[in-house]
Amino acid sequence: MDAMTTHSFRLSQVNQAQLERFAQELAFALRPGDVISLTGDLGAGKTTLARALIRALTNDPEHEVPSPTFTLVQTYESERLGLAHFDLYRLSAPEELDELGFEHLVEAGAALVEWPQRAMERLPAERLEVSLAEPGSGDSETRDVLVSGHGIWAARARRLEAMHELIRDAGFDGDDVDFSMLAGDASTRHYGRLVRHTLLPRSCLVMDWPRQPDGPPVRDGLPYSQVAKLAEDVRPFLAIARALRDSGLSAPRIMGADTKTGFIVLEDLGALGYAEALADGVPQEEIWRDGVDALLALRHVRADQTFQAGNGEQYSLPRLDRPILEIETDLVPDWLWEAVHGCPPTAAERHRYRSTWAPVFERILAEPTGWMLRDYHSPNLILLPDREGARRVGIIDFQDALQGPAAYDLVSLLQDARLDVPAELEDELLGYYCAQAATTDATFDEARFRFVYAALGAQRNSKILGIFARLARRDGKPRYLAHLPRIWGYLERNLLHPELRALAQWYEDIFPGSVRRRALAL
């Protein structure tokens, strides 16, 4: 242990409410395979911390958490992971920990261990230690908390400390604050919500987005994220959020950020996403028109400028290019083809596919560029009914934005991957967009825009078909297959454009109707 990397920090004179909120922060940080040991004298607060952590993990503030003093271990299940709560006070020999199935329980989830000194040699050296003690002042109502991360936990302890300080600096360190984890998306980001219950009730979100290591090279010696120009840390998010807000749109206000560790405290725009609004009976035409209005407003904001990311850092939007278009559409031969046909495409078949797309890409890349937020669809849009005009649209996912054709975001909205958009509504709002754009832009060419709309719709839906096939086959997430009929339908709409006949023929040759039906049953 002494030779391992260690990082420690101390929280001084925390009361019970603050101790419970720190336990919620621990629950937010917990990952499969983690071991957290709790030390302290009887009455030091170990049970208080353990109970708060378990309730936060299970997202149930009333969850019964019995002491494992006599059973030695209690297990809990949550949507994120399982947790085994050990109390080793009555352990007669370290070997008994093996009989309790410690290693298996850790492999299946995570472990929280009280009285770890009873079996220290059986615990993994790489763990997080939390020690509780009365402060030197003799204040029996508060505790000093020493947190030490060892081995791989050292870096995570630094991040835990940074998150705790960021929350404090944002003004959410009072006794009336709760911190809960929100359901994640398909990305590497995690989100939590801080809620202050008294005085001036308010909430904010915590985004946990550590910089990700590069994946294996996939093209020209570069990993997928670099070829596709995906954001690799929080700086693009910070810069674009500020730019959108400065332009009068409703991106979240940044309340605090640590660019080194990847934590952001940001405005909570609420939970009335577009899917939830529809479920509440809000007419789809109304909120989708709001979404179109926000894109129309964005047409007046220059994308080819330098934006401020904070702390003196600057950021410029990358440009859409051929490698991005190619690597995204290649997800069809890379994943969908084999899933449907049972074998990968031959070199000749792959060449025909790329050759069919090549002239389409040339025309797309010849278009004028503006903002291309890239993920402008229902999971990332929030209805803000108390605001007016384009500000009624809360935009929460934009860090991968590019300079590219404005049609991309419009087709992302009007051919939503997660929700059905009737063809009649799509046609109406596409016409509305074109009419409004033409009134403020004398160079707007509707016929040309409609082609690019269809071409980018075909490109985007091809990419999504490949991604959903990959999520199902490689990542064990078959729930995404439920969206395939919708995506095929959108793709067919786009391929009706007369200038996409060659692409439509390719799809008909490789994925005819009978094969598409088989694809829906992947």
One digit per residue, the tens of pLDDT, for the chain of length 522 reads 455 799 999 999 999 999 999 999 999 999 999 999 999 998 899 999 999 999 999 999 889 999 898 899 999 999 889 999 999 999 989 999 999 999 999 998 999 999 999 999 999 999 999 999 998 777 788 999 999 999 999 999 999 999 999 999 998 988 889 999 987 555 678 999 999 887 666 899 999 999 887 889 989 899 999 999 999 999 999 999 999 999 999 999 999 999 999 999 999 999 999 999 999 999 999 999 999 999 999 999 999 999 998 778 899 999 999 999 999 999 999 999 988 888 999 999 999 999 999 999 999 999 999 999 999 999 999 999 999 999 999 999 999 999 999 999 999 999 999 999 999 999 999 999 999 999 999 999 999 999 999 999 999 999 999 999 999 889 888 889 899 999 999 999 999 999 999 999 999 999 987 677 666 555
Residue 102 has a pLDDT of 94
* Number of DSSP helices (H) and strands (E) in the chain, helices first: 19, 20
Stretch(es) of the chain classified as CATH 3.40.50.300? 6-152
What's the whole-model pTM score? 0.91
Q: Are 468 and 339 in contact (CB under 8 A)?
A: no
Taking only Cα atoms into account, the Rg of the chain, rounded to an integer number of angstroms, comes to: 26
Contact (Cβ atoms closer than 8 angstroms) between residue 122 and residue 96: no
Statement: 6-152 belongs to CATH 3.40.449.10: no
HSE (side-chain half, CA atoms, 13 Å) at 346: 4
Q: Given this structure, which CATH class describes domain 217-519?
A: alpha beta
Question: Cα 407 vs. chain centroid, distance in angstroms?
Answer: 24
pLDDT of residue 502: 97
**pLDDT of 490:** 97
To the nearest 10°, report the CA torsion of 106, 109, 110, 116: -30
**Do 12 and 144 contact (CB within 8 A), yes or no?**
yes
3-state helix, strand, coil in the chain (%, to 5): 45, 20, 35
Q: Which residue has the tokens 């709309």?
A: 453
What phi and psi, each to the nearest 5 degrees, are found at residue 6? -135, 140
Residues of the chain with CATH 3.90.1200.10: 217-519
